[in-house]
């Protein structure tokens, strides 16, 4: 990952990459070789006033809708681009499928963002930093204003191609590690804090109006909903973030925040959430080590599509 750090230093300071490299080598000598290349790179970055966030790399198979801060290394397996027109405005969108040994994900690049892809081609490995939204085909990576798309020096051998459509399963048969679809109503939503603070600059977690890197900030809010889904065969605790959470509770996070702010009580939001609606929920079964129980981490939510339901029954 040292190439990422060098690229970041270079792009923020305008210093050519080989010069940054020399500085890192000098730093290692200065410290009598007591430090790794990466460690030296962090120090050089700091001295030049460039902030490097510690990279928390995600396996592609673990990406879920609503993540605000996703670091992903993937191999480019497919690229397509098309022009579109919406409300009289012309635009372009590029779809890049990235994969690793745990799955694949779509990276959508819009208009000027497409320039960041120049020089890349199928088979290259890239490091993407961005956020995850629910797209037409499930979760998709977006760069947004602060995202980056850089070359990675890692080698990814095999890419696990995953079916875009999740296999339907009764809750009683869910097992750890599976990506599955369930059809069930939400029968209970837990209270407690459903909002968390996000730094508007780096999209990292913030606490009490402070970001570790950016100091005092006016936070944006993320939404996390947990509850119980029950399909008659069994029940499971479900957890959903942001876009997926909004769909699950049938209201936007702004609406939820408004309800909360009016009464300063979480119940004001919880009581407005309609329970018992049949939903089709895609997600991943994961073990919560802290509480030693299974959870269904929601990836996407849709209402019941009767035509599709009948086809599923007949299949």
Chain positions contacting Zn ion, by CB under 5 A: 199, 201-202, 211, 213-214
Contact 197, 271 (CB under 8 A): no
**Minimum gap (Å) between residue 218 Cβ and Zn ion:** 11
Q: Which is nearer to Zn ion, 45 or 249 (CB)?
A: 45
Contact 298, 282 (CB under 8 A): yes
**Minimum gap (Å) between residue 211 Cβ and Zn ion:** 3
- What residue is closest to Zn ion based on CB? 199
**Minimum gap (Å) between residue 232 Cβ and Zn ion:** 45
Question: Of how many residues is the chain composed?
Answer: 315
DSSP H or E stretch at residue 30: helix 17-30
Q: Which is nearer to Zn ion, 115 or 216 (CB)?
A: 216
**Minimum gap (Å) between residue 99 Cβ and Zn ion:** 30
Contact 166, 155 (CB under 8 A): no
> Within 10 A of 224 (CB to CB), how many other CB atoms are there?
17
**Minimum gap (Å) between residue 67 Cβ and Zn ion:** 16
Q: Which is nearer to Zn ion, 54 or 307 (CB)?
A: 54
> Within 10 A of 216 (CB to CB), how many other CB atoms are there?
9
Q: Which is nearer to Zn ion, 216 or 292 (CB)?
A: 216
User: For residue 71, what is the DSSP state?
Assistant: E
CA of residue 226 relative to chain centroid, distance: 18
Q: Which is nearer to Zn ion, 214 or 237 (CB)?
A: 214
Q: Which is nearer to Zn ion, 43 or 201 (CB)?
A: 201
Q: Which is nearer to Zn ion, 118 or 218 (CB)?
A: 218
Q: Which is nearer to Zn ion, 65 or 69 (CB)?
A: 69
Could you give phi then psi for residue 133, rounded to 5 degrees?
-115, 160
CA of residue 104 relative to chain centroid, distance: 13
**Minimum gap (Å) between residue 189 Cβ and Zn ion:** 30
**Minimum gap (Å) between residue 197 Cβ and Zn ion:** 10
Q: Could you give the angle at the alpha carbon of 279 between the alpha carbons of 276 and 281, nearest 5°? A: 130
In this structure, the strands spanning 70-86 and 89-100 are: antiparallel
User: For residue 38, what is the DSSP state?
Assistant: H
Could you give phi then psi for residue 156, rounded to 5 degrees?
-115, 115
In this structure, the strands spanning 89-100 and 103-110 are: antiparallel
**Minimum gap (Å) between residue 209 Cβ and Zn ion:** 11
Nearest residue to 239 via CA among 166, 171, 189, 204: 189
**Minimum gap (Å) between residue 212 Cβ and Zn ion:** 7
Q: Count of H helices and E strands in the chain?
A: 7, 16
Q: Which is nearer to Zn ion, 15 or 201 (CB)?
A: 201
User: CA torsion 111→202→17→127, rounded to 10°?
Assistant: -60
């Amino acid at each position: 990952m040292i190439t990422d750090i060098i690229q970041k230093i270079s792009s923020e300071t305008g210093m050519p990459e080989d010069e940054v490299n020399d500085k890192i080598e000098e730093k290692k000598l200065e410290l009598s070789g007591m430090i790794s290349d990466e460690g030296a790179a962090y120090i050089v970055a700091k001295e030049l006033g460039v902030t490097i966030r510690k990279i928390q790399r995600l396996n592609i198979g673990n990406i879920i809708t609503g993540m605000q801060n996703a670091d992903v290394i993937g191999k480019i397996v497919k690229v397509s681009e098309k022009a579109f027109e919406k409300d009289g405005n012309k635009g372009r969108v590029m779809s890049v499928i990235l994969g690793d040994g745990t799955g694949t994900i779509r990276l959508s690049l819009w208009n000027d963002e497409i320039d960041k892809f120049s020089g890349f081609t199928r088979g290259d490995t890239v490091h993407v930093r961005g956020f995850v939204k629910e797209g037409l085909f499930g979760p998709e990576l977006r760069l947004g204003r602060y995202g980056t798309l850089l070359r990675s020096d890692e080698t990814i051998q095999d890419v696990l191609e995953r079916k875009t459509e999740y296999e339907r399963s009764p809750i009683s048969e869910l097992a750890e590690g599976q990506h599955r679809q369930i059809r069930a109503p939400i029968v209970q939503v837990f209270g407690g804090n459903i909002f968390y603070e996000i730094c508007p600059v780096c999209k990292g977690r913030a606490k009490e109006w402070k970001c570790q890197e950016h100091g005092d900030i006016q936070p944006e809010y993320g939404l996390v909903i947990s509850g119980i889904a029950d399909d008659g065969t069994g029940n499971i605790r479900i957890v959903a973030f942001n876009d997926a959470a909004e769909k699950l509770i049938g209201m936007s996070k702004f609406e939820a925040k408004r309800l909360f702010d009016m009464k300063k009580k979480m119940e004001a939001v919880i009581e407005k959430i309609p329970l018992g609606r049949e939903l089709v929920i895609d997600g991943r079964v994961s073990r919560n080590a802290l509480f030693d129980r299974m959870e269904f981490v929601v990836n996407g939510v849709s209402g019941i599509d009767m035509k599709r339901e009948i086809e599923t029954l007949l299949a």
